[in-house]
């Protein structure tokens, strides 16, 4: 069967169409996305503005047409922190349903972490042992740890790269004082929660799933996406230590010239690197192994499980 999933994230709105059936890996058939940056379309009260709401509705209408033309039998939609935390997030989703007919699942942060963990477990399998999964989004940081398909603990912290850049890094490149203050905040927030992740045991594998972490790994020499899904890619703590000072001294436009870094995300990269550094240092993680599957794939896998005979 052919399924579609609409991911309304803080940075990007993304339609992924896959060919899938229960017991097999979903095979991507088509991708359609827009860098809408909902987290940056906020008024002084934190409400999502009408321009962004209209753009979201327009994208979803286009996505439904694309999905129909591609023979999709079912489209599942979900939203994450940008919608979840906006005072008018429910109103935006009501408008989406009224104008497009699509009902959007508003995910909690811990559920994001849980579903992403499922995708990572299915990708790496049981031989990977206890996993710790790190996902740095635009609005939040998701962390999950466990030895099964459901994590023992799933956390969400307001440490997304876009949010931190908007709230704490006003200059380009950021000033030393801004960086020092933000680094201190991030480390205090991570340290307050990391004990919950390791109380059940240290991970055999620590995994990264987000675009921010993929870009950092690519800058540090990981293989480009053109080499395929099955190439092992890692971000090491030592490489991050080399690159973080360099990134913090560059303007956003200079960062966008680095391999794998998009113009739209280049300004957020320093904040994302500070979060990655804190998680790796405080969690005692020498490296993060990149996983090509993340939240979207987890949503698809859950749906396939629900459609399986006898479920």
Digit-coded pLDDT (tens) for 200-220: 889 999 999 999 999 999 999
Rg, C-alpha atoms of the chain: 19
Higher local confidence (pLDDT), 308 or 303: 303
Tokens of 171: 């200059």
Mind giving me the DSSP string for 254-291?
HHTTSTT--TTTGGGHHHHHHHHHHHHHHHT-SEEEE-
CB 194 within 8 A of CB 159: no
CB 39 within 8 A of CB 138: yes
pLDDT band at 6 (very low <50, low <70, confident <90, very high): very high
Alpha helices by DSSP H, 70-148: 81-85, 89-100, 109-124
Q: Work out the average pLDDT over 236-254.
A: 97
Structural domains of the chain, ranges and CATH numbers in brackets? 2-107 (3.30.420.40), 109-294 (3.30.420.150)
pLDDT band at 71 (very low <50, low <70, confident <90, very high): very high
51 exposed, middle or buried (CB, 10 Å; 0-12, 13-18, 19+)? exposed
pLDDT > 70? residue 311: no
Digit-coded pLDDT (tens) for 137-186: 999 999 999 999 999 999 999 999 999 999 999 999 999 999 999 999 99
CB 69 within 8 A of CB 28: no
Does residue 75 come out as left (phi exceeding 0), alpha (psi in the -120 to 50 range) or beta? Answer: beta
pLDDT > 60? residue 297: yes
Mean of the per-residue pLDDT values of the chain: 94
CB 135 within 8 A of CB 113: yes
């Amino acid at each position: 069967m052919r399924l579609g999933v609409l991911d309304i994230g803080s940075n990007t709105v993304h339609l992924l169409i896959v060919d899938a059936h229960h017991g097999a890996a979903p095979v991507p058939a088509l991708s359609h996305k827009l860098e809408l940056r909902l987290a940056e379309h906020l008024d002084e009260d934190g409400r999502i503005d009408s321009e962004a709401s209209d753009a979201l509705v327009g994208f979803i209408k286009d996505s439904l047409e694309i999905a129909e033309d591609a023979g999709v039998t079912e489209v599942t939609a979900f939203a994450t922190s940008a919608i979840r935390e906006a005072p008018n997030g429910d109103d935006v989703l009501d408008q989406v349903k009224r104008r497009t007919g699509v009902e959007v699942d508003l995910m909690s942060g811990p559920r994001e972490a849980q579903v992403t963990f499922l995708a990572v477990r299915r990708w790496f399998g049981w031989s990977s042992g206890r996993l710790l999964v790190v996902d740095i989004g635009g609005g939040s940081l998701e962390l999950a740890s466990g030895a099964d398909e459901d994590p023992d603990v799933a956390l969400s912290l307001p440490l997304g790269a876009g949010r931190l850049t908007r709230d704490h890094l006003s200059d380009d490149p950021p000033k030393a004082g801004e960086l020092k203050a933000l680094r201190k905040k991030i480390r205090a927030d991570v340290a307050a929660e990391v004990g919950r992740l390791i109380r059940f045991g240290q991970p055999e594998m620590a995994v990264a799933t987000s675009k921010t972490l993929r870009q950092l790994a690519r800058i540090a020499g990981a293989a480009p996406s053109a080499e395929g899904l099955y190439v092992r890619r890692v971000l090491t703590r030592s490489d991050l230590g080399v690159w973080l000072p360099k990134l913090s001294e560059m303007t956003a436009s200079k960062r966008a010239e680095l391999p794998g870094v998009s113009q739209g995300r280049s300004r957020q990269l320093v904040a994302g690197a500070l979060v990655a550094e804190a998680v790796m240092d405080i969690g005692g993680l020498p490296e993060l192994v990149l996983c090509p599957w993340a939240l979207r794939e987890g949503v698809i896998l859950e749906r396939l499980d629900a459609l399986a005979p006898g479920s």
